[in-house]
Structure 1
Amino acid sequence: MLRIMTVSRLKTQNIALNTQGFDLQPGISRLNLNPEFPLNVYLDGHRDDTPVTELHVHDGLELGYCTAGSGTFYVGNKILPFHAGDMTVITSHEYHRCHSTPGTTSQWVWFFLDPIRLLVPHAACEFVWESERFCGAPFVNVIPNGENSLLHDLMKMLIDEAKQEDEYRNSNLRSLLFLLINELHRRFPRRGTDDQTTPNATGLSRIVPALNLIAQHFHEPLTVTELAAACDLSVRSLQAHFATQMGMTPQRYLMKSRVQAAAAMLHNHQNRITEVALSSGFNSLSAFNRAFRKIYSMNPREYRKQQRT
């Protein structure tokens, strides 16, 4: 039976739920999917602005839809802003976390599933699930609202169907997931051999303490020495691991985290740019402007104006 969860209660009857559907272990969030219908749905998920304390990875596919708010996703070595109307696709290959814009809470609907067990036995023709297409540096896990109207329409139809309580719901959800996953494969074709980069979970785990420290304290002064100490590594080893796993130096990752957090804050037009700069860890407006331009090729004022249009 389909598990549909809310923050405080279940939406369906006669369904046992373990820790709201998750078995939490360090770094791993096991989904505990029902073998008969391996799909869990959270209709009223939310993320506040509290920094997440550790990266995690699921043992299944996560499809998300942001219904309100904004914030930042950290997926592998990617830092991805999200806003209301965006959808997310995260496979079991990538460690991730997210938090909302400071002072806000974002609202979400999440679908967690095992595509092979849920769909393959019921496929009328050959069904393909190539999870390696949807991970690594070339894949942008946040699909902005308006970028692919069919994918977003299918997500909205999934959400509407999940709210139903009749005997047709499960079969309709399965059919919609067939369509959505097939469209994902059409939208994101198989990459060349040189691009088939599978994230190294073991290597990434060596720098998780530094990533967590940055996520929690990006707005404070942080040194490479402190980041290395958190990982029990030398500075040189930390830099080597960052280069391999993140494709950048620890300093650049910290700067990028600050700029992405600032970009999310700029969507609230009541925040003055100087306040945004200081709140995101920059000690001067000029330093903020330089860093922002490196990431977005425009200054913060131009970025805010662009978001209004």
Structure 2
Amino acid sequence: MAKQKNIITEFRNYPLRVEFPILLLTGNQWWISDVPSANLHFHNCLEIGLCHEGEGTLIIQKESRHFSAGDITIIARNIPHTTYSAPGTQSLWTYLFVDPQELLDPLTGGYAKQTSELLRKINSAFLIPSGHSPSVSFYFNQICYSIQEKPSNHHLKVRSDFLSLLIDAVNFLPKQETAPETLDSASTLSIVPALEYIKQNYMTTFSMDYLAELCGLSPTHFRRIFNLAMGRSPLEYLNTVRINKACYQLRSTENSILNISEDVGFHSISSFNRYFSRMIGMSPREYRCCDSQDERLQKSKIMKFNGWMEAER
């Protein structure tokens, strides 16, 4: 496989809706050009793409892979990648960006262990060739339809179809393409008490050492396991949860920004504003003033890099 050298990576953040964390990007603005990007990029969430027309190259970290119409790509968060079409052509894509844990949580609460294992397996990057898995393509298209047309109970249907997609997709995960440093199921599940505690108590004050104690791990081992499993430190994860909760309040209430910052667990408005701007790409006030999710995304400062709400030209 061809190797890429001296790659610079960029982080592209998608501020997904807290109550329904899945974003559909589709349409004629998603014709991918034949110009290779100067940089790889990675996301804060899972990316699933379907190539409708054309062919080209998908680069995942330092490996190049050929894609063609009908192929589906699944790329976990924090994995650098980029896509470009064959010389002199364009390829048309549809993308879903998802927070799998948060999307599935209302559906699979009684199956936490099974869901954690499924998400651990999908924490990779791979391509499913056209025709190899009609069921994955079917569920992908059903999800897109439900998001666009919003039939009755479409939130429940999207969650159900997404779970079915993941269950079928893991069967096509090549063993040799799993991440070089992974955790076994027991290690991954060992941090579940911390995740549950953060979910229920994000607005309160507690130490990371206390989370380690809940998991029965030393602070050092806990931080290592947490970083591998979640892709960020425990404190970063906690603050991400707090910011996501703040986003929901900014959209759905008229509470003051100061009150919201305190409600979600920040004791300093300056700290809240600084972390919010770093994560979302705009201030809480700017975020609240945007009329829609699309406008919030388009005003995010990460747009200044590559215009990720539409394909690069």
TM-score (norm 1): 0.50
